[in-house]
Chains A and B, each alone.
Chain A
Amino acid sequence: MSTAVKNELRVCMLSVKYNIMREMLNKVTFLTNILFMALNNATFIVQWVILFSLREDIGGYALRDVMLLWGLAASTFGLAHILFARAFSLPDLIINGKLDAYLVLPKNVLLSVLTSQTSVSAIGDLLYGLVILCVFSLSIGRFFLFVLFTVTGAVIYTAFALLMGSLSFWFVRAEMFAGHMTSSMVSFATYPDGIFKGAVKFLLYLVIPVGMAIYQPVHIMMDFNAGRLLAVLGYTLLLSAAAVFVFYRGLRRYSSSNLMEARG
């Protein structure tokens, strides 16, 4: 690994560490945020247990599969918001000219921006996902796949937020559209893909990337398929490259403002 890459990663890790340290200033709030997020997610288990007491199969999923889906969705969301929370508020940085602080530093702008904020409650999501995996469908192979797909899912989710957020470089008020698109990804990620048909399914694979972030990984964990695994990895790389390209194209249109906040 080159020194430049090592230094980039060192600064990113320091940034995440300092973000978490900031959140830990108030220990009670820090711990309750994590705990209540995990509990909030857990309430949905009750909903699914009731639904599966009425039907054995929902969209081709059993209770164990839905829990796996939920676990992966939660851990994916969690990891993305622990490491790259700023991707989800990118329009605010663009519209209010808050990218200046990152542009005067000799580091990769995108990485510096993405890692400049951390959501503490997302730690609860990540832990919840891992607990769900352990409780409902633990095996060594599945654990490693789960970790891999948490990473690819978090990258896809962040890249999608980055793509949508970057629209603010071109369009005024694009932040609402970006917000709807990224939150719809979370909403769809918690339902079995078997219940969606036709145009909606097309939407979930080609417009909102929940298909490759969550559905395919769950299918691979349920029934391993190397071809599908490669497709997920390839898609992750492609979407990330597209998001980075669009962000840097947009950055050329960045018009700044008289605000400067780096760590707010």
Chain B
Amino acid sequence: MNVIEAENLSKTFRVKRKEKGLQGSLKAIFHPQTEAVHAVDRISFTVEEGEMLAFIGPNGAGKSTTIKMLTGILYPDDGAVKVLGIDPSKKRKQLAYQIGTVFGQKEQLWTHLTPYDNFRFFGAIYDLPDAEAEARIRELSEIFELDAFINTPVRSLSLGQRIRCELAASLIHKPRVLFLDEPTIGLDPVVKENIRSLIKQMNKELHTTIFLTSHDVGDIEKLCKRIVIVNNGKIVLDDSMTHLKYHYLNKKIVELKLHEEAVLPQLAGITVLKQNGGHVKLEVDTGIMKINDALRHIDAENMVDINISNIPLENIIMEIYKAEGSSLKRGPLDGNHLKKEGL
């Protein structure tokens, strides 16, 4: 069952334009000029119940605008959207009872209150009877291990503890869809991992649909099975994480440490990225040449150490951001778009 259905969703903002300097400012008073910016341009997608979806893109790609239209914050200019069968722009309040939002960079809690008082406030917002709110707080406190600081004012909590409280507060009403915007931003690796496993647990036990936006590849890789990439207001890729990796990871990075400098073979499928004395970095296109065959061209006696790695997902995503969107959407991904920069 689809919990989110977006069809030709569009949003255009009119942005003021002015020429530089004071003269430009004066001119803009009498002849204001605006330009239409298509923040979201006819995007269509669906999300199934219980799915964990990464909705990512570079800054200004249109992902926040899309989420805001899905949650009823913004009215679409065109197209149709249904979340849990509800049109967010028409029945925002009704929808809000069934969705949750967590914005990693933005506090939703009252900082002078304790997490417990905050949860009671959110319980009141979602019309939970006192007994039900209490039971839910106990349950969430157990899942998120909040007991140690549930009666400490939020302003005195560490960032990791605060994010756990933000997550718990957004779940007080058992939302069916949870929108997470950079939930692990600014957290240390241990806390990040902790938050990710909590999100996974939530998805598994409560079957909550997760709609995640993040610039942290770790979040995307460890949580989501499907990835939607937006750029310039359009969906440039909508694919499963496995499929994405399979098609893009046909290039390997081979780092070699040699006894002495060697002349490297000039063969199709092997690109020398860097050579500094005995230290060599190669890129092998396994679509053209197998790793095994590539290594045969290097004198094994001269080899001190070897490291073979995949191209980081971060680089793959960066490359997709740069690529022309339409040719990538649901099309075969041959990985040839990958460039050497940053490898």
Contacts and interface: CB of A to CB of B under 8 A. Distances in A.
Contacts of B111: 263
Contacts of A14: 121, 124
B340 interface: no
A104 B121 contact: no
Contact of B110 (A7, A18, A100, A256): A18
A10 B124 contact: yes
B108 interface: yes
Interface string A9-23: 011001000100110
Contacts of B105: 260
Interface residues of B, number: 33
A11 B124 CA distance: 6
A42 interface: no
B56 to A, nearest CB: 15
A100 B107 contact: no
Interface string B71-109: 111110000000000000000111011010101011111
B112 interface: yes
B64 A258 contact: yes
Given A18-B113, A103-B73, A259 B127 contact: no
Nearest to B181: A260
A107 B72 CA distance: 13
A259 B105 CA distance: 9
Contacts of A263: 107, 109-111
B126 interface: yes
Given A101-B106, A106-B97, A21 B73 contact: no
A255 interface: yes
Given A101-B106, A259-B106, A18 B125 contact: no
Nearest to A99: B73
Contacts of B94: 106
Q: Which of A3, A18, A259 has the most CB of B within 10 A?
A: A18
A30 interface: no
Contacts of B113: 18, 21
Given A172-B16, A260-B103, A107 B74 contact: no
A72 B73 CA distance: 39
Contacts of B127: 3, 7, 106
A206 interface: no
B125 A107 contact: yes
A262 interface: yes
Nearest to A3: B127
Nearest to B71: A104
Contacts of A25: 112
Nearest to B99: A104
Interface residues of A, number: 29
Interface of A is mostly: loop
A254 B112 contact: no
B127 to A, nearest CB: 5
Contacts of B106: 101, 259-262
A104 B102 CA distance: 10
A25 B113 CA distance: 10
Contacts of A104: 71-73, 96, 99, 101
Q: Which of A106, A172, A254, A263 has the most CB of B within 10 A?
A: A106
Contacts of B65: 256
A22 B103 contact: no
Given A104-B73, A104-B96, A107-B93, A256 B121 contact: no
Given A254-B74, A260-B103, A7 B96 contact: no
Contacts of B121: 11, 14, 18
B93 A106 contact: yes
Nearest to A25: B112
Q: Which of A100, A108, A172, A259 has the most CB of B within 10 A?
A: A100
Interface string A185-208: 000000000000000000000000
B13 A255 contact: yes
A22 B110 CA distance: 9
B174 interface: no
B71 A103 contact: yes
A54 interface: no
Interface string A92-118: 000000011101111110000000000
Contacts of A260: 103, 105-106, 108
B68 interface: yes
A252 interface: yes
A177 B125 CA distance: 34
A11 B125 contact: yes
Contacts of A261: 106-107
B96 A105 contact: yes
16 contacts: A3-B127, A7-B127, A11-B124, A14-B121, A22-B110, A100-B68, A104-B71, A104-B96, A104-B101, A107-B93, A108-B93, A256-B65, A260-B105, A262-B106, A262-B107, A263-B110
Q: Which 8 A-B pairs have the closest CB atoms?
A: A260-B106, A106-B96, A103-B73, A22-B112, A106-B97, A106-B93, A104-B101, A7-B127
Given A18-B121, A256-B65, 6 more contacts: A18-B113, A18-B117, A22-B112, A100-B73, A106-B97, A255-B13
Interface of A: 3, 7, 10-11, 14, 18, 21-22, 25, 99-101, 103-108, 172, 252, 254-256, 258-263
